[in-house]
Amino acid sequence: MEIATFASTLAQTYPNRRYLLAATSWGQVADPLPAPSDPPPPNGTIFDRLDAHHITWRNYYTNLPTTYLVPSLALRAKQNIVPIDRFYADAAAGTLPGYSIVDTEFVHASEEDPQDIVVGEAFSAKVINAVMSGPAWGRTLLVWTYDEHGGYYDHVPPPPAPMPDSIPPAISPTDQPGRFDRYGFRVPCVVVSPYARRNHVSHVVADHTSILKLVETKWNLPAMTSRDANASNLLDFVDLRSPPAFREPPALPAPNDNAATEACLATGPGPIPPP
């Protein structure tokens, strides 16, 4: 159920998350928080498309909602941006909306250096187990992925990508020249669903806008930019013509106990090498 997918762009966290919202970063290449007056993407976000067709959605967050990257959306749709506890309640009740984004806690649990990755793994396990144990498991598809690579190297060169639109990158005169015409380094991606193919590793190039393409395919929504119009839709992960391979959710290994690593973070690693 895994693939090595590609991040949307050779940029930082917020530009890639903007691609997840709107199939473009509309020029952003770095991580400043947007001002309330910042303009929205020219063609709107996936949530605007869902609202226009009366399809329910929520952004479940721990300490920072992804939807805050579009201030006008966050102000307009406050009722759809709810704390993470609501996700676990909705999953247990079988009342998750048509489409959701679930955000981890970013200070300690995003698995970015120098964080302890065990904390992030425990969060992912809790979310996945909540979906698998809920009454809506039979009609749920969960995509678990990362916003960007968190490192500086990948032995596979990022391939060319369709330019999403004509908006140039907001680079300074001292930056290297560039355009939004190349994917970023690879990030992990796992699809969790009753209909997931057993032992399947996809070799189809995908990026964050593939999630948008999946949503657009399901509800017959138009693309927002050239990037999601040309993206794969992740359906090679699933087999919808056969009985579900995971009608009964599989038992997953428990996440690691992070007590020892938390103690290490608090006290330091001690002598290296140890006595």
Identify the architecture of domain 2-267 in CATH: 3-Layer(aba) Sandwich (3.40)
Question: Are 65 and 59 in contact, with CB atoms under 8 Å apart?
Answer: yes
Write the pLDDT tens digit of every residue in 186-235: 999 999 999 999 999 999 999 999 999 999 999 999 999 999 999 999 99
pLDDT of residue 177: 87
pLDDT of residue 6: 85
pLDDT of residue 153: 79
Give the chain's residues under pLDDT 50: 1
pLDDT of residue 40: 95
Angle in degrees, CA 250, 252, 254, rounded to 5: 155
Domain limits, the chain = 2-267
Angle in degrees, CA 86, 92, 94, rounded to 5: 95
SS3 state of residue 211: helix
**Percent composition of the chain: helix, strand, coil (DSSP 3-state, to 5):** 30, 10, 55
pLDDT of residue 5: 78
Q: Pick the closest to residue 60 from 96, 87, 22 (CA basis).
A: 87
Instruction: Kindly report the pTM of this predicted structure.
Output: 0.92
